[in-house]
Structure 1
C-alpha cells in the first residue's frame, strides 16, 4: 500500500497494451479521454498491486483490501500515535522478555534497535524480494494465461534473469517492458 508521503504512480493496461501511466490525476485525465470501452486493468507501477479505480466519481484509487488494512481499522491502544508510535502485541518466551528488559532503555528501545539493525543489514535482500513479489503480482494478474507463464515464474524466483527474459521475450512489448522494469532490482544477488 503506498504511503501518504510517496505519490502513487499508476500504469494502466487494456489487454496487453499500456494505455496510460502517471500520477492519479494524470491517469484519470487519460482514462476520461478514452473513446473506446475496452476493459482495462490499473496497477501501482512500483508494487504491481492491482487497483480499483473510480474514473467517473473521482473517488480516486482504492487498493484491494489486505490484512494490513484490517489491522489499521482496529481501535488504537497505548503508544504515542501523534509521534507515529503505535503499540502492538509481540509474543516472546519469558527468557526473551528477561533479556530485553535487561537492555539499556528497556524492551521497547532494544526491540527498535534490533529491528533497525536487521532492516539495514537485510536491505539488499529485502529489495530483491520486493521486486520479485511486485513482478509476480503484476504477472499473475495480467499474464497468467500466456505461454511460458509458470516457467517464467519459476525463473523469476530462482533469480535466473536470462531464462526469465527468454521466456517472456515472445510476450507483447508493453507487457514485457513493464515486467523488465519491475524485475530489475530482483536480479541482484544478496550478500
Structure 2
C-alpha cells in the first residue's frame, strides 16, 4: 500500500505536495504573522487536514487508534455479528478490512474523485466566478465545462483541481452484454 500524499496551499498558492512530513514542514515554514494558516489537503479524499493534530485522550485503545462510535443495525444483524468469532467488534473490523482491500469500482473511483475535487474547490475557490457551474460539471462528468469554468482561476488551484478531478471525467465502462 502506498503512503498517502498531501498538498498544502497558502494564500491560494501551492507551497508543497507529497509525503506528509515534507508537506507539514513546508506548511509550518509558511506560517507568517498574517494569521492565515496554510491549508493542507489529502490528495486522495480532498479533506482538509489540521496543521497540527493534538493527541487527545479518550475511550478505547488510544495507542491503537481505536475509538468507540455508534453503529445502528437491525436485531438480526446484531445476532449474526454476536455469533461470529471474537464478537461483533472483531467481525465488523474483519468486514471493514476486507472491503477496504477490495478493488475500487470505476464508478466509486469517479465519485471519490469528484467528492475530493469538490471539497478542495469549496475551500480554495468556493467564491470564484464559475465555481457553482464547475461543481455541476464535476458531478456530471463534463470535463470540458469544468475546464472552461476554472480556466481563469489561479494556476496552482486550477491545476490541482484538474489533477484531483481527472478520474471523475473518465468514461463509465459499458454494461456487460
Does the TM-score normalized on the shorter chain lie above 0.5?
yes
Pairing 1:87-106 to 2, within 5 Å after superposition: 87-103=68-84, 106=87
Counterpart residue number, 1:75: 58
Between the aligned partners of 1:44 and 1:91, the Cα distance in structure 2 is 31
CA apart distance, 1:155: 1.1
Match of 2:16 in 1: 21
- Answering whether residue 173 of structure 2 is matched by residue 183 of structure 1, we say no
Q: How far apart are the structure 1 equivalents of 2:65 and 2:14? A: 38
Structure 1: distance between partners of 2:79 and 2:37:
55
**1:44 counterpart residue number:** 41
User: Is 1:116 matched with 2:97?
Assistant: yes
TM-score relative to the length of structure 1: 0.62
- Residues 134-149 of structure 1 correspond to what in structure 2 (within 5 A)? 134-149=116-131
Q: Alpha-carbon deviation of 1:115?
A: 2.4
Q: Write out aligned runs for 1:148-163 (5 A).
A: 148-163=130-145
Structure 2: where are the runs of 5+ without partners?
Answer: none
**What displacement does 1:39 show?**
5.7
Q: Secondary structure at the match of 1:123?
A: coil
Quick one: distance in 2 between partners of 1:38 and 1:73? Answer: 25
Residues 45 and 74 (structure 1), Cα distance of their counterparts in 2 relative to 1, 3 Å cut: closer
Aligned residue pair count? 165
* Aligned-residue RMSD, C-alpha: 3.9
The answer to whether residue 2 in structure 2 is matched with residue 12 in structure 1 is: no
State the secondary structure of the residue aligned to 1:186: helix
Q: TM-score, normalised by structure 2?
A: 0.66
- Change over 3 Å in CA distance of 1:102–1:42 after alignment to 2: closer
**1:62 maps to which of 52, 55, 58:** 52
